Amino acid sequence: MTDPIRLGIFGFPVVHSKSPEMHRAAARALGIALEYDRFEVAPADLAAEVTRKHDEGIDGYNLTVPHKETVMALLDDVAPGARAIRAVNTVVRTDDGYVGHNTDAPGLVRSLEEAGVGVGEARVIVLGAGGAARAAVVGLAEAGASEIAVLARRPEQGEALVESLVEALADHVECTVEAAPLSEADWHFDSATLVVQATSATLESNPRADEFAAMLPIDALPPDAAVVDMVYKPLKTSVLARAEERGLKIVDGLGMLLYQGAIAFEMWTGSAPPIDVMREALRN
């Protein structure tokens, strides 16, 4: 019998993560021996714990909040996409050591493709300027979007995000990326083909989620525009509900979660991920 593939997820907290169930279900379906554990590690202990797992020869792992950025200094190499996003959510053991990747960005793109939303030549609005927004900008720019406007409630946060990405993207994409204050959203909505909601404002824990949706000029969007919300708790967020009322195409955040995991699974196992099995595991 071969040794199982040993994997896990670092987070703080990590108890809520569905990644273990998703990857275990995928491995079971394919008859692959695989162990996937939760590693609840405080920020101050991350370096020691990651080093320990590397010494033990762990095959790979995921990282969630708050470790995606700090782990980069602990790795042997970081893939260019993850370097541009400045966040690693997936680590793979290779002959050259532990290499960090970001599968959130291609995960978002695949979830849009699966939903039939065109990304090539898209005119995109990204709401928010945190880590998820950054992944969205890199993923969509690299997938062929023609224009991206980053709308942040603190304009300086949006400007810093765009400024830091210009150099990372300039040599390989032809996409105009600009920042604007969220208060000027009206200017951008009437020509957008895709809105990516990447703030945490629509989380079910935010009692003002409806207020956030109500202040967006969703009515100004063209009728063939699509709206995706990265938040998946709830699945139908306040922003998606408003977009649906308008008859626009909507995409929830579960697809991105699924595909970031599916891409990681393929990196670790070399096997095509059983998408439907993984989706079912996330829904339970």
Ligand X SMILES: NC(=O)c1ccc[n+]([C@@H]2O[C@H](COP(=O)([O-])OP(=O)(O)OC[C@H]3O[C@@H](n4cnc5c(N)ncnc54)[C@H](OP(=O)(O)O)[C@@H]3O)[C@@H](O)[C@H]2O)c1
Q: How far does Cα 221 stand from its chain's mean position?
A: 24
The residue count of the chain comes to 284
273 binds ligand X (CB under 6 A): no
Whichever of 93 and 232 has its CB closer to ligand X, that residue is 232
Residue 18 is a catalytic residue: no
3-state secondary structure of 170: helix
60 binds ligand X, rule: CB under 6 A: no
The answer to whether residue 153 forms part of the interface with ligand X (CB under 6 A) is yes
Instruction: Provide CB contacts within 8 A for 44, sequence distance 6+.
Output: none
- Non-local (6+) Cβ contacts of 201 within 8 A are 128, 208, 209, 212
Q: Which of residues 4-33 bind ligand X (CB under 6 A)?
A: none
- What are the residues whose beta carbons fall under 8 Å from the beta carbon of 85, sequence distance 6 or more? 102, 104, 105, 131, 134, 135, 138
First-to-last alpha carbon distance for the chain, in angstroms, is 31
Q: Which residue is nearest to ligand X (CB)?
A: 130
Judged by CB, which is closer to ligand X: 162, or 256?
Answer: 256
Nearer to ligand X, 59 or 252 (CB): 252
User: What is the tally of helices (H) and strands (E) in the chain?
Assistant: 11, 12
* 151 near ligand X, judged by CB under 6 A: no
Of 152 and 263, nearer to ligand X (C-beta) is: 152
Q: Annotate each residue in 196-225 with x if it binds ligand X (CB under 6 A) or - if it does not, as one string.
A: --xxxx-x--------x-------------
* Other beta carbons less than 10 A from residue 270's beta carbon: 9
132 binds ligand X (CB under 6 A): yes
Task: Pull the structure tokens for residue 224.
Answer: 């063939």
Does position 240 interact with ligand X (CB under 6 A)? The reply is no
- Mark the segment that binds ligand X (CB under 6 A) among 38-46, 55-63, 193-201, 220-228: 193-201
Choice from 81, 100, 131, 273 touching ligand X (CB under 6 A): 131
Q: Are 27 and 82 spatial neighbours (Cβ–Cβ below 8 Å)?
A: no
Sign of CA dihedral 282, 12, 61, 172: positive
Nearer to ligand X, 230 or 243 (CB): 230
Q: Distance (Å, rounded) from C-alpha 158 to C-alpha 199?
A: 12
Q: Should residue 232 be labelled a site residue for ligand X when binding is judged by CB under 6 A?
A: yes
Site for ligand X in 100-119 (CB under 6 A): 104
**Residue 130, interface with ligand X (CB under 6 A)?**
yes
Active site positions, annotated: 68
Residue numbers at the binding site for ligand X (CB under 6 A): 104, 128-133, 152-154, 157, 182, 198-201, 203, 212, 230-232, 253, 256-257, 260
